[in-house]
């Protein structure tokens, strides 16, 4: 735990970007609109990729907004203190991101018709992505080697708490018609098919050409070249671009390059134990 972390309902948050007041406001007072779309993820699971896709779908494949408005303003994180104004300025239908666990989400969602898209990623790749992100993220430097990243993850001591609790919490919504579940690995394997499924869920009828445009402008290389999407415009004292790239590799299975056999076997044992009560299997487990 770093000096500026705090705990709320047993989950760790960062004082630089979170506050108890904002968390309480979001949970108890934030007004969810029926046409809202929530992009929910555990961090490093494809949040920004989904922001890009959803905004392109909203604008029928037109990339103008993607090329002119920073990605964190297009779909700000509802719980981030500094993003409160940006959330208030969103045009409808609002596309709002969140890493919040299920039991922190706005209570007014329960009686709304709003939609939630939950993206899951192979947790071993989440750990690798985090490991490299922490090197450039100045607000929360975790000193330590890769083993430390694995330990923090498995103990649930990082920001937003336990990955396992996050997934299990949100899976309570799996049979709700307002809930769409997808994995990062499915997006990678069938980008276009995933966009079509998302359009169907959102009730958007796009032409083939418009779908092609969504896919093209949300591809890894296009996003990496787009300064409105690659986070190079973030303040340097927050994201040190000399220490890495936010759009780092964008692949699945990169964990094989960093986990030792022993780390992987240990991870698998803990994973099986922690997931046994969920009784579900996930596509990304095969990657
Ligand atoms: S954050 O900080 O929690 O909001 O990060 P998040 O956006 O959830 O995850 C960052 C990882 O997503 C990858 N990414 C992509 N992969 C494939 N295609 C596209 N278009 C794409 N956009 C972002 C990004 O590269 C990070 O993964 P790694 O493994 O570090 O490359």
CATH number at 136 reads 3.40.50.300
Q: Answer for the pair 30, 106: CB distance below 8 angstroms, yes or no.
A: yes
pTM of the full structure = 0.96
Q: Which of 18, 99, 166, 217 is labelled catalytic?
A: 99
CA 31 to chain centre: 21
- Using the predicted structure, report yes or no on whether residue 230 has a pLDDT greater than 80: yes
Backbone angles phi, psi at 228, to 5 degrees: -85, -10
**Which pLDDT band, with edges at 50, 70 and 90, does 140 fall under?**
low
Spatial CA neighbour of 214 closest among 247, 192, 182: 192
Active-site residue flag, 166:
no
Question: Looking at the 3D structure of the chain, how many domains does it have?
Answer: 1
- Using the predicted structure, report yes or no on whether residue 105 has a pLDDT greater than 70: yes
Q: Classify the C-alpha dihedral 21-99-214-241 as positive or negative.
A: positive
C-alpha separations of 153 from 98, 157, 163, 254 in Å: 19, 6, 7, 17
Beta strands in the chain (DSSP E): 5-8, 11-14, 37-41, 95-98, 115-120, 179-183
Ligand 1 site-directed mutation target among 45, 46, 119, most atoms within 8 Å of CB: 46
Segment 28-55, tens digit of pLDDT = 999 999 999 999 999 999 999 999 999 9
Tell me the residue range of the domain where 83 lies: 5-286
For ligand 1, atom 6, the nearest C-alpha belongs to 44
- Using the predicted structure, report yes or no on whether residue 185 has a pLDDT greater than 90: yes
């Amino acid at each position: 735990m770093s000096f500026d972390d705090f705990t709320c309902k047993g989950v760790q948050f960062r004082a630089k970007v979170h506050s108890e007041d904002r968390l309480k406001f979001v949970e108890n007072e934030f007004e969810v609109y029926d046409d809202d779309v929530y992009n929910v993820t555990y961090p490093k699971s494809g949040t920004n990729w989904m922001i890009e896709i959803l905004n392109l779908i909203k604008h029928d494949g037109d990339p103008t907004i993607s090329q002119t408005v920073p990605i964190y303003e297009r779909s700000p994180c509802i719980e981030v203190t500094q993003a409160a104004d940006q959330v208030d300025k969103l045009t409808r239908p609002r596309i709002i991101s969140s890493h919040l666990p299920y039991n922190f989400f706005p209570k007014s969602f329960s009686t709304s018709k709003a939609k939630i898209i939950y993206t899951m990623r192979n947790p071993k790749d989440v750990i690798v992505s985090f490991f490299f992100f922490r090197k450039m993220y100045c607000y929360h430097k975790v000193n330590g080697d890769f083993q430390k990243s694995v330990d923090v993850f498995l103990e649930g001591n990082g920001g937003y708490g336990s990955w396992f609790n996050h997934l299990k919490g949100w899976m309570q919504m799996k049979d709700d018609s307002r809930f769409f579940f997808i994995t990062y690995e499915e997006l990678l394997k069938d980008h276009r098919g995933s966009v079509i499924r998302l359009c169907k869920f959102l009730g958007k009828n796009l032409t083939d050409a418009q779908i092609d445009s969504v896919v093209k402008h949300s591809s890894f290389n296009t996003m990496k070249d787009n300064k409105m999407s690659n986070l190079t415009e973030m303040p340097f004292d927050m994201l040190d671009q000399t220490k890495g790239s936010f759009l780092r590799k964008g692949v699945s299975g990169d964990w094989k390059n960093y986990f030792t056999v022993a780390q992987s076997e240990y991870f698998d044992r803990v994973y099986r134990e922690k997931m046994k009560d969920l009784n579900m299997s996930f596509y990304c487990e095969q990657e």
